[in-house]
Amino acid sequence: MFKILEANELATNIFQMIVEAPRVADACLPGQFLIIRVDDEGERIPLTICDYNREKGTVEIVVQAIGAETYKLSKLKAGDELADVVGPLGKPSDLCEMSVEELKKKKIVFIAGGVGTAPVYPQAKYLKELGVDCDVIIGAKTKDLVILEDRFKEVCNLHITTDDGSYGRSGMVTKALQDLWDEGNKYDHCVAIGPMIMMKFVCKLTQELGIPTVVSMNPIMVDGTGMCGACRLTVGGKVQFACVDGPEFDGHKVDFDQAMNRMKLYKTEEGRLFLKAQEGDTHHGGCGNCE
């Protein structure tokens, strides 16, 4: 069992938890994710890691209650326990493979949309610890949905934008990126993490601006284990699975329209049957356990 040490509501329906999980904390790197099960009957929930503390043996997660399992998770309090915390899973961010010299030569911008702000934090913090500067654009619908502002301020140059203009700049993250570019910020590396539609339009813009862009495809994961086939996507014409081959991919090569359409279809039995007929075995590796 994994004890919850802290549980807070960061914004309406967005919850932060610090969980005791020493082995995960010891091994995880920015960009990776966890699978959580609230109780023995619970379904697996793949969640990106928001922060970790190796000394204390803790990991931090941020979750939006959007379904039965995440709602159940959001109701837990400090002192409660989770049945499973498995990880770290997925490949770490590309940034972790670059040398400090390489990183220092880059002008890096992170685009953090809504709840996707949480997985951006460990990447910005990682760079700060290496002495590498970066810009972060946080986009939220309204002021009260901006999360982790103070913590970001400690690790990056922070730009906030709200869709309704209630805080920071006004408009979506794409407008803020274009404005910052026009103001002279010639970025040469972008990491965009947020809703699929946001990542699609950020990639469209960064393609025009010529900024290589990495995206995190966590939103299409279901079980996060390479077994269910839900997170199948096409990257540069090649079939990939977000949970085992990612979660981060070259955003300019991702077929977002196909991934978003497939995500909708995967939600119903009828849709899954359609995908099976269309794609054959939607399973990742054909492990023989599909039945």
State the residues that interact with ligand NAD by CB under 6 A. Answer: 48, 113-116, 119, 139-141, 163, 172-174, 193-195, 197-198, 201, 216, 218-219
CA-closest candidate to residue 89, choices 250, 249, 224:
224
Which does residue 213 touch among ligand NAD, ligand FES, none (CB within 5 to 8 A, set by kind)? none
16 vs 174, beta carbon nearer ligand NAD = 174
The answer to whether the CB of 137 falls within 8 A of the CB of 152 is: no
Listed in sequence order, the residues at least 6 apart from 79 whose beta carbon sits closer than 8 Å to its beta carbon are: 3, 4
Which does residue 52 touch among ligand FES, ligand NAD, none (CB within 5 to 8 A, set by kind)? none
d(CA 192, CA 158): 15
Minimum gap (Å) between residue 115 Cβ and ligand NAD:
4
Q: What is the 8-class DSSP label of residue 28?
A: -
Minimum gap (Å) between residue 230 Cβ and ligand NAD:
13
195 vs 226, beta carbon nearer ligand NAD = 195
Rounded to 10 deg, the angle between the 173-182 and 196-209 helix axes is 20
Which does residue 226 touch among ligand NAD, ligand FES, none (CB within 5 to 8 A, set by kind)? ligand FES
99 vs 289, beta carbon nearer ligand FES = 289
Which does residue 206 touch among ligand NAD, ligand FES, none (CB within 5 to 8 A, set by kind)? none
Please report which helix (H) or strand (E) contains residue 101, including its range: helix 100-105
Which does residue 219 touch among ligand NAD, ligand FES, none (CB within 5 to 8 A, set by kind)? ligand NAD
116 vs 168, beta carbon nearer ligand FES = 116
CA distance to 9, 71, 139, per residue, from 64 (Å): 10, 8, 16
Minimum gap (Å) between residue 186 Cβ and ligand FES:
36
The answer to whether the CB of 111 falls within 8 A of the CB of 138 is: no
The answer to whether the CB of 134 falls within 8 A of the CB of 109 is: yes
The answer to whether the CB of 99 falls within 8 A of the CB of 121 is: no
Interface residue list for ligand FES (CB under 6 A): 221-231, 241-243, 284
113 vs 122, beta carbon nearer ligand NAD = 113
